[in-house]
Chains A and B, each alone.
Chain A
């Protein structure tokens, strides 16, 4: 009778220990997920800001703004197969800064500020919208993520941010 009670309490202790281990691992995964989300948001904001800062020094920006208002392009990469060369400086600046923050640009878009729209396209403000992805580096799912990348939502954190030049 006493020995069976002891066996039961040992089992209970073992079960509780396993529960603690699983809870610890789960907490680790949750921390990794939220950290990657925060990093992605920061990288997206920095990349969008870099595109806007590049447009501020780019002499071709007023011309590009007219193109954007006339809807001849949206500098949308990768949706546009051949965006104009004037899109490249802002896009490259966004890419460089995203990489410096451990992220990759997966979608880039420029557009006119709706408040500058008039009857005729004219130089105005430009809005840069950048979407980035950051590897979540989940401790438990690293192998699975290596097999299923890119695009597995569990494995990468995605964030979008916008910045305006002008």
Chain B
């Protein structure tokens, strides 16, 4: 009788462990999702830096963005350039890159309009031609 009770208890523990496995999977996926988002942000910052560096140089101003930064993700990204005249002379150029997030956890919003999208902006002064 006592032996059967202990056996049943052990079975319940195994069931609890098996039930906990999806939770473990979810936690691991969430960690991977975090890492992917951080990498997206680093990539957006690098792309914005590269794009604005070319944009402020006279000879490279009209090159298409994806060719300049060499990142295929830029083809589906939202890239904007703004040029503001500096009151003290010259102009400031800002490149803004919004990359669509890589979604690993189901149900999270995707696309460049998502609140999880990687956003980076870099400003440089335009070089005189």
Question: What residues make up the interface of A, taking CB atoms closer than 8 Å to B?
Answer: 2, 9, 20, 24, 27, 31, 35, 38-39, 42, 46, 49-50, 53-54, 56-57, 89, 92-93, 96-97, 100-101
A9 vs B12: C-alpha distance when bound (angstroms): 13
Residue B124, interface by CB 8 Å: yes
Q: Name A's interface SS.
A: helix
Contact in complex: B89, A57 (CB < 8 Å): yes
Query: What is the interface size of chain B, counting residues whose CB is below 8 A from a CB of the partner?
Result: 25
Contact in complex: B49, A42 (CB < 8 Å): yes
Q: How far is the CB of A108 from chain B (nearest CB, A)?
A: 15
Question: What residues make up the interface of B, taking CB atoms closer than 8 Å to A?
Answer: 6, 9, 13, 27, 34, 38, 41-42, 45, 49, 52, 56, 86, 88-90, 92, 94, 122-128
Contact in complex: A31, B126 (CB < 8 Å): no
Query: Which residues on A sit within 8 Å (CB–CB) of B92?
Result: 96-97, 100
A-B contact list, 25 entries, CB within 8 Å: A24-B34, A42-B49, A42-B122, A46-B122, A46-B124, A49-B125, A50-B124, A50-B125, A53-B128, A54-B90, A54-B125, A56-B127, A56-B128, A57-B89, A57-B128, A89-B88, A93-B88, A93-B90, A93-B125, A96-B86, A96-B92, A97-B123, A97-B125, A100-B123, A101-B122
A38-B45, A49-B124, A50-B125 are known contacts; what are 10 more A-B pairs with Cβ within 8 Å?
A2-B6, A9-B13, A42-B45, A46-B123, A53-B127, A53-B128, A54-B89, A93-B88, A93-B90, A101-B122
Query: Which residues on A sit within 8 Å (CB–CB) of B94?
Result: 100
Q: Name B's interface SS.
A: mixed
Q: How far is the CB of A18 from chain B (nearest CB, A)?
A: 13
Top 5 closest A-B pairs, CB basis? A100-B123, A50-B125, A46-B124, A53-B125, A57-B128
Q: How far is the CB of B60 from chain A (nearest CB, A)?
A: 14
Q: How far is the CB of A79 from chain B (nearest CB, A)?
A: 24
Q: Which residue of B lies closest to A9 (CB)?
A: B13
Q: How far is the CB of A91 from chain B (nearest CB, A)?
A: 11
Query: Which residues on B sit within 8 Å (CB–CB) of A54?
Result: 89-90, 125
Query: Which residues on A sit within 8 Å (CB–CB) of B124?
Result: 46, 49-50, 97
Q: How far is the CB of B37 from chain A (nearest CB, A)?
A: 9
Selected from B34, B90, B122, B123, the residue in CB contact (under 8 A) with A57 is: B90
A42 vs B94: C-alpha distance when bound (angstroms): 13
Query: Which residues on A sit within 8 Å (CB–CB) of B34?
Result: 24, 27
A93 vs B49: C-alpha distance when bound (angstroms): 19
Contact in complex: A38, B27 (CB < 8 Å): no
